[in-house]
A and B are shown apart, each in its own frame.
Chain A
Amino acid sequence: MIGDWLDIGSVDQITPGTARTLPVVGFDEIAVFRTQKNEFYALVNKCPHKQGPLSQGIVHDNMVTCPLHNWNISLKTGEALGEDKGCVPTIPMKVDAGRMYLLRSAVVGKRAA
């Protein structure tokens, strides 16, 4: 079972309400988010609008505001919220016994452009 999941480290490495980056050589960089409510999400670190680094946005509730043009992106679905349209791929993630895991097959889901 655990073989399907990639251990990316301890939950303590991410302060609640922030994100950290996880480069994947040859593939899109992943942003790993921890919300104030201690929910964890992983998204491709590219805003669907102009590829802004979502990991650097302000996290509020279960959204992140892209630092480039203030699009709000749902951390759960990767969809742009409000009037904006677009979606960034999400990577299934789970937390078990204080460790964070990404679904291995999704980590290499998309070749970097």
Chain B
Amino acid sequence: MRSGGFFVLRVLPRITKLNAPSTLMDKDNTAAVKERLVVIGNGMAGCRAVEEILARDPARFDVTIFGAEPRVNYNRIMLSPVLAGEKAFEDIVINGDDWYADNAITLVSGDPIVSIDRATQTVLAKSGRVEPYDRLLIATGSDPFIIPVPGKDLAGVVTFRDLDDVDKMLTAAEKGGSAVVIGGGLLGLEAAHGLSLRGMKVTVVHLMPTLMERQLDEAAGYLLKTELERRGQTIVTGGDTAEIVGRDGHVSAVRLKDGRTFDADIVVMAVGIRPGTTLAKSAGIEVERGIVVDDHMVTSDPAIMAVGECVQHRGACYGLVAPLWDMCRALADAACESPSGYEGSVTSTKLKVSGIDLFSAGDFSGGDGAEDIVMRDAARGVYKRVVVKDNRLVGAVLYGDTADGSWYFDLLKKGEDISDIREALIFGQAFASGGALLDPNAAVAALSDDAEICGCNGVSKGKVIETINAGACSLDAVRSTCKASASCGSCTGLVESLLALTLGGEVQSGPKTMCKCTSFSHDDVRRLIGEKSLRSIPQAMQELHWTTPDGCSSCRPALNYYLLCAWPGEYEDDQKSRFVNERLHANIQKDGTYSVVPRMWGGLTNPRELRAIADVVEKFNAPMVKVTGGQRLDIFGIKKEDLPAVWADLNAAGMVSGHAYGKSLRTVKTCVGSEWCRFGTQDSTGLGVKLERMTWGSWMPHKFKIAVSGCPRNCAEATIKDFGVVCVDSGYELHVGGNGGIKVRATDLLCKVATEAETMDVCAAFIQLYREQAHYLERTAPWIERVGLDHVKAGLFDDADSVKRLAARFRYSQTFCQDDPWAERVAGKDADLHQHLAEVRPLSITEYAQ
């Protein structure tokens, strides 16, 4: 338990915003007549209720919120992703300090209310603070249920309810070892998943024969169990806990009644919750299982309201998030004197375990007159079951393919007659609607306005459309305005469909994110790096809400490149985010050795260079030397420890890195041109060398090859290069976007110029346009196919100065790139990358072992 310390965050209205003294007076006058609303509970229900009230009448109440946890309001249902390492605490904050400040709400956190005095209409906090109220809102949520077995109070037994619990689990996971989760319901499985991802050996002990039996039928429960076992968890169903075994006051194992025992360094108790009613009960308010409320969320005391998991409404208590939103709406309507009334909720469930798609809603226990429609697709691991009663959908369980979850849920809540679509019901919305809805956007269009889009934040389709119509034209804008898709992101596709539907063709549909760590596209990320002036990878990940702690092997190199391109000379290259070849400045081979390609400008070499290469081959016993397609020599079989010594020898002969390993300028291939060739029209070799001198060392979205052919016979194969020059009598034809790889693509003719200087400028400008606009790992060929040659031409030539400006940016960037990376390593830079940590000799080990 945390110590009894508390702190008070007193947030004053931002009077600095008001400039005229008279306004201040007005404010004071209004304040005098405001009712005092005190909220017990700074959780999702309490804060949502306040949000709803503020949305209706911001001037009605002076609001004070008491919270037991020492922090601002956060999204409790997103604790699972925090535990799993997919989110950070900051990502799940719903209302930060500024929300309290902006709305002049007093937040008293870390100081729980201990009693309510209804006679004097005051509440007493643990610190002794007394707060008077006109209206009181109890939002005390629920408490985890602790099964009364021996050992339940041992250190290492935790619940899964708040951030402190998550912290305890993370601390345990740091040490590794075994975890036992008691309870195979939604919460228990999410805890198990998180601990498993954190590297613990996890056993789930569930009392019932089926996992999540309140939400799943046996078949879906079986599929889920099999999948979790495949992931390495041990799932014990029908397991009744007899005792939590301890050693020195700390848990060490869990013993079942059948005698089986499972080691445990931590035990997570997740068997259920019960409404937090202690405070209400001791104040004499009517309490049954929960605090009894009417349809307007008012308790037996008319001055006191209650909302959330602590209440009992029409006999029902809820432990899921969705009913909160409806309750809070009804509460706010009543509090602002336009009562609407809450009629109870039909709930649906999604399991937040990545890679497992599971949806359930309504009643699927069968019973009189209930008929099942089942579809199984074993190959795809899909199980769907809908339950129909009196021609109405009453329940649905989906495993493996939950795309139609919203649609079924909508049908269920509406209670619509489904006899017309019954035949096709199980195949989902697209089929049931006669094939007219195969377009996913049309499927979303068919949802009713009150269909829930975002389950995490309780946002309906109507609300999303309203937000879009009010000017939110991008996913990003929708997220920040109405919070739809801002939490777990599973409804991102739906929100994108709504954007497409509402704005027409202006929004591209379908997620095409940079990688699974982010919901932003490559273009978004590049734009935001500029707009938000992001200067480092950790900063970009933080500001752009990365869902992984430090990215993945896809996004790290991409971000590194984008930052390098955006801030030349300022951004410090991150070696950790470089693919091995670019980190070791050589090409890794299948046996873990490297190949080394020194630069040969324009394909030219000389005896000194050739001798140095020959000497290196002999000195380091390189098993093979090969002439490459790019007109240079490749030395194979060099160990990473030997690379600096190899480079030193090559440097000594005047050679530098050929960047054969980089997403960078590779080589400039040339033919001999007018200097020797009887057909040559220009000095193609000389021009090739000049181009290579200008462009070497530059980092690009992908590898970049140049060639210069001295006549249209095109011996240098310039028309399958990223940038190709074909010399003709009257000047130079400049070609772009060629590729000789998997899919051969001949170049497009970009333009024709008269001089070498113009060729150099257009080359620099084209490269810079590609560097600034293409996605990372996109060669020029697919880039041009994607954006169109006209777009590239427009970018270069629409404005008379474009080429000059782009070329200047490229040349500026090059001033930081043309230091030979090999020479830097030879001089001792990043020596750790090449040297072993140490070497272990087996003799010494044998000695120690004996």
Whether, in the assembled complex, B848 has its beta carbon less than 8 Å from a beta carbon of chain A, the answer is yes
**In the complex, which residues of chain B have a beta carbon less than 8 angstroms from the beta carbon of A107?**
840, 845
Is there contact, CB below 8 Å, between B840 and A57?
no
Cβ-closest chain A residue relative to B577: A58
Report yes or no: B845 in contact with A60, Cβ–Cβ below 8 A.
no
Q: Taking the complex as formed, is B579 at the interface, i.e. its CB lies under 8 A from any CB of chain A?
A: yes
Contacts A67-B580, A77-B199 given; does A26 touch B842 at CB 8 Å: yes
- Is there contact, CB below 8 Å, between B836 and A58? no
* Interchain CA distance A67-B85 in the complex, whole Å: 24
Q: Shortest Cβ distance from A12 into chain B, in angstroms? A: 10
Q: Is B832 an interface residue (CB 8 A)?
A: yes
Report the separation of the CA atoms of residues A23 and B174 in the bound assembly, to the nearest whole angstrom: 28
Tell me whether A58 and B557 are in contact (CB under 8 A): yes
Closest chain B CB from A113 CB (angstroms)? 13
Q: How far is the CB of A63 from chain B (nearest CB, A)?
A: 8
Instruction: Determine how close the nearest CB of chain B comes to the CB of A46; give it in whole angstroms.
Output: 9
- Whole-angstrom distance between the Cβ of A34 and the nearest chain B Cβ: 11
Tell me if B654 counts as interface (CB < 8 A to partner A). no
- Interface contact B836-A56, CB-CB below 8 Å: no
Which residues of B from 544 to 580 have beta carbons under 8 Å from A?
548-553, 556-557, 575-580
Residues on the A chain within 8 Å of B837, using CB: 8-9, 13-14, 20-22, 32
Chain B interface main SS type: loop
Indicate the size class of the contact surface on chain A: 35 or more
Query: A1-40: which residues lie under 8 A (CB-CB) from chain B?
Result: 3, 6, 8-9, 13-15, 17-18, 20-27, 30, 32, 36-37, 39
With CB as the reference atom, state the residue of chain A lying closest to B589. Answer: A68
**B553 & A70 in contact (Cβ 8 Å cutoff):** yes
Contact assessment for B845 and A6 in the assembled complex, using a CB-CB cutoff below 8 Å: yes
Residues of the B chain whose Cβ atoms lie less than 8 Å from the Cβ of A51: 592
In residues 826-850 of chain B, which contact A (Cβ within 8 Å)? 832, 835-842, 845, 848-849
CA distance A51 to B592 in the complex (A): 8
A17–B839 touching, CB < 8 Å? no
Given contacts A56-B588, A76-B176, contact A61 B548 (CB under 8 A): yes
Q: Is the CB of B839 within 8 A of A25?
A: yes
Taking the complex as formed, is B590 at the interface, i.e. its CB lies under 8 A from any CB of chain A?
A: yes
Task: Give Cα A21 to B552, complex, Å.
Answer: 22
Chain B residues with Cβ under 8 A from A15's Cβ? 576, 832
Chain A 44-59 per-residue mask, 1 if CB under 8 angstroms from chain B, else 0: 0000001111001111
Q: Is the CB of B199 within 8 A of A22?
A: no
| Distance in angstroms between the alpha carbons of A3 and B844 in the assembled complex | 12
Which residue in chain A gives the minimum CB-CB distance to B843?
A: A25
Select one of A25, A61, A74 contacting B840, CB under 8 A: A25
Contact partner of A67 (CB less than 8 A), chosen from B577, B588, B835, B849, is B588
CB nearest neighbor in B for A13: B837
Cα A76 to Cα B588 in complex, Å, equals: 25
Give the docked Cα–Cα distance between A63 and B554 (Å). 13
Residues A108 and B588 in contact, CB atoms below 8 Å apart: no
B840/A24 in contact, CB under 8 A:
yes
* CB of B39 within 8 Å of the partner chain: no
Are B199 and A76 closer than 8 Å at their CB atoms?
A: yes
A52 closest partner in B (C-beta) = B592
A73 nearest CB across to chain B (Å)? 11
- A60 CB → nearest B CB, Å: 5
Q: Which of B549, B551, B553, B838 contacts A37 (CB 8 A)?
A: B549
Residue in A18, A22, A62 whose CB lies within 8 Å of B839: A22
Select from chain A the residue with minimum beta-carbon distance to B591.
Answer: A51
Min CB distance A76 to B, Å, is 4
Cα separation A30 to B840 with both chains bound (whole Å) = 10
25 contacts between A and B (CB under 8 A): A8-B840, A9-B838, A13-B837, A14-B837, A17-B576, A21-B837, A22-B837, A23-B836, A32-B837, A56-B580, A57-B580, A58-B557, A60-B550, A60-B552, A60-B553, A61-B85, A62-B199, A77-B199, A79-B232, A104-B845, A104-B849, A105-B849, A107-B840, A107-B845, A108-B845
Chain B interface residues (CB < 8 Å from chain A):
85, 174, 176, 199, 232, 548-553, 556-557, 575-581, 583-584, 588, 590, 592, 640, 832, 835-842, 845, 848-849
**Given A36-B549, A107-B845, 9 more contacts at CB 8 Å?**
A9-B837, A13-B837, A20-B832, A22-B839, A24-B842, A56-B584, A56-B592, A79-B232, A104-B848
**Top 9 nearest A-B pairs by Cβ distance?**
A65-B553, A76-B199, A20-B837, A67-B580, A56-B580, A17-B576, A58-B553, A24-B840, A53-B592
